[in-house]
Amino acid sequence: MGFKYKVLISEILLFLFLDGFLLCLAWNKTYYQDYVITETSYTRLCSTKKILTVNGQFPGPEIHVHKGDTVLLNVYNKGDYNVTLHWHGVKQPRNPWSDGPEYITQCPIQPGANFTYEIKFSSEEGTLWWHAHSDWSRATVHGAIIVYPKKGTTYPFTKPHAEDTIILGSWYKGDVMEIIEEALENGGEPNLSDAFTINGQPGDLYSCSKPGTFRMLVEHGKTYLLRMVNAVMNEELFFSVAQHQLTVVGTDGAYIKPLTVDYLMITPGQTMDILLKANQPSSQYYMAASAYSSGLGVPFDNTTTTAILQYKGNYTAPSSLSLPYLPYYNDTAAATNFTSGLRSLASKDHPITVPKKVDTRVYTTISINTYPCVNNSCDGPSGSRVLSSMNNISFVTPTIDILGAYYRKIRGIYDTDFPNEPPFYFNFTADELASNLSTPTFGTKVIVVEYNSSVEIVIQGTNLNSGENHPMHLHGYNFYLVGTGFGNFNNVTDPKGYNLVDPPEVNTVGVPKNGWTAIRFLADNPGKLTSFIL
């Protein structure tokens, strides 16, 4: 997701006590865990380096809970950098202090210090993930969250024989913190990753990587649940398994109507629950992932990571494996065909509540911008500095956390005048755009919305400095993806095509290149500081 620029939506503080809420809590459990953040030596791609890890693991440890449980997790920072942790997709009702974005909901945990997070699970069910939310430490500090159905209930599909976690990640030969610090100092894009990984391993196609390739063991005739996380730093990925179809049954901790596909496209930050039937002749098959990159002339990691689906039993292993079908890197039609097939389950046991009327509407552009440097001395286009913006405003990180400033009524930390629409209109998706449109303003700005109001946000991609698919994540809420399209959003005709019946309920979405995405949600999480991450 590159440089992190956020816009905050905060709700008026209001506490709500519901009949039966305390009674419900009596059936849920509280778990206690310790995370120790340290530097640990890992060898990949023929070289060894130290990386920041949790409990020495890459990827980090998994969290396993049932729906409605709570985890008290004490984090000890024994590394060399400030760090925070974010529980990606966990709504944290009435618990904004444990969400994790540095200088938004908390100040970072300094080296030698510790902090206890209270992770409150509510309506989430399925696969989510956690990751560092400070600088680029999330490249190695991340792990899966597995939320099982509440005890006494089950999946809305036949229970699989077993399950495996599949975490897609990035590997850099260099020190990731030095890479991002150099990019921020010099104003250019950070270095590309040197490999993608599956469960921390690059796979057979990279140097010095074959012995560590991840293998998933299966029995013929059994069905397996793949719990997939895209923890890659920048690229959206196509993923498939040779000669096997995949049935997606959940996204971002919510169930969907089963969607059977030959490949899937997963955006950084997204999670998916996928059923795989081991119904092919007993052998070994590649699973593989490679980048979807829609930007014209935009560099990306053009490598392919692999793992092996290995059947148990007696057979002669093939001398070589064939790669599965993966769409071409810029196949926007393939990416769109997959994402357009996602639909909420919207059943009696798994209902959805899509807001039909809207109280607050926000129309925001997202752009890659440039800012002039003295003597054209930066590494961006024409010697400029590369930035990101929403409604032409690049986020300025405050010196204290915004949540603390809000509750303590500290003035001067943020402004409440983030615009509900672009400051000026132009053909956002034109092939040619004037260079003066590329320069943003700077600010720490928020939108304040009323508690329990319904919100619609239309996110408009622009073609400034070569538009591309943008992943966007909303903290504190799932939202309904009610519409998406190409070109400039038309507020008269486009809403007529919204899906208000069974839109997918997600927390992360890819806004299409030179297109738009419309989401809706109910602002029912009082006190929550909700940040969009670009």
Fold of 360-523: Immunoglobulin-like (2.60.40)
> How far is it, in rounded angstroms, from Cα 252 to Cα 406?
29
Tokens of 195: 């490999």
Task: Find all residues with CB under 8 Å of 448, minimum gap 6, and list them.
Answer: 9, 10, 11, 12, 416
SS3 of residue 408 by DSSP: helix
Distance CA 406, CA 113 (A): 24
d(CA 194, CA 203): 13
Please count the other Cβ atoms lying within 10 Å of the Cβ belonging to residue 80: 13
Task: Return the CATH fold of 162-341.
Answer: Immunoglobulin-like (2.60.40)
Tokens 């590997």 belong to 171
Mean pLDDT over the full length of the chain: 92
CB-based contacts of 408, cutoff 8 Å, min separation 6: none
The contacts found for 155-160 with CB under 8 angstroms, 24 or more apart, are: 155/249, 156/249, 156/255, 156/345, 156/347, 156/349, 156/350, 157/249, 157/258, 157/275, 158/223, 160/222, 160/223, 160/224, 160/225, 160/275
184-187: long-range contacts, CB 8 A cutoff, minimum separation 24 = 184/3, 186/378, 186/379, 187/371, 187/373, 187/378, 187/379, 187/380, 187/384, 187/385, 187/386
Q: How far apart are CA 437 and CA 67, in angstroms?
A: 47
User: Which residue, chain included where needed, has tokens 């007529």?
Assistant: 496
Q: Which residues of the chain have pLDDT under 50?
A: 1-26, 534
What are the residue ranges spanned by the domains of the chain? 30-148, 162-341, 360-523
Helix, strand or coil for residue 528? Answer: coil
Give the Cα-Cα-Cα angle 347, 532, 167 (nearest 5 degrees): 65
- Cα dist from 476 to 121, 363, 437, whole Å: 11, 20, 32
For Cα atoms 388, 394, 395, give the angle at the middle one, nearest 5 degrees.
Answer: 115
Torsion of Cα atoms, 64 then 68 then 69 then 70, to 10°? 110
**Count, residues in the chain:** 534
For position 95, what pLDDT does the model report?
Answer: 92
Say what the pLDDT of residue 267 is. Answer: 96
Write down the pLDDT at residue 528. 60
With a CB cutoff of 8 Å and minimum separation 6, the contacts of 228 are 127, 165, 166, 167, 168, 239, 266, 271, 272, 273, 274
Under 8 Å between Cβ of 160 and 225: yes
Helices (H) and strands (E) in the chain, counts: 4, 32
- Count how many Cα atoms sit within 13 Å of the Cα of residue 384 in the half-sphere of its side chain: 16
CA distance 245 to 311: 16
Q: Which residue shows structure tokens 């109280």?
A: 359
Residue 332 dihedral angles phi and psi, to the nearest 5°? -65, -35
Q: Before 59, cis peptide (omega within 30)?
A: yes
By 3-state DSSP, what share of the chain in percent is helix, strand and coil, each rounded to 5? 10, 40, 50
Dist CA 202 CA 159 (whole Å): 31
Residues 6 or more apart from 435 whose CB is under 8 A from it? Answer: none
pLDDT computed for residue 271 by the predictor? 98
The owner of tokens 């690049």 is 394
Q: Strand 6-11 relative to strand 454-461: parallel, antiparallel, unpaired?
A: unpaired
Task: Point out which residues pair with 529 in neighbouring strands.
Answer: 10
* Residue 337 neighbours by CB under 8 Å, 6+ apart: none
Using left for φ > 0, alpha for ψ between -120 and 50, and beta otherwise, residue 297 falls in left
Q: Tell me which of 3.40.50.150, 3.40.630.30, 3.40.50.980, 2.60.40.420 is the CATH number of domain 30-148.
A: 2.60.40.420
Quickly count: other Cβ atoms within 10 Å of residue 175's Cβ.
15
- HSE on the CB side for 381, CA within 13 Å? 14
Q: What pLDDT does residue 467 have?
A: 83
Report the alpha-carbon distance of residue 225 to residue 146 in Å, rounded: 12
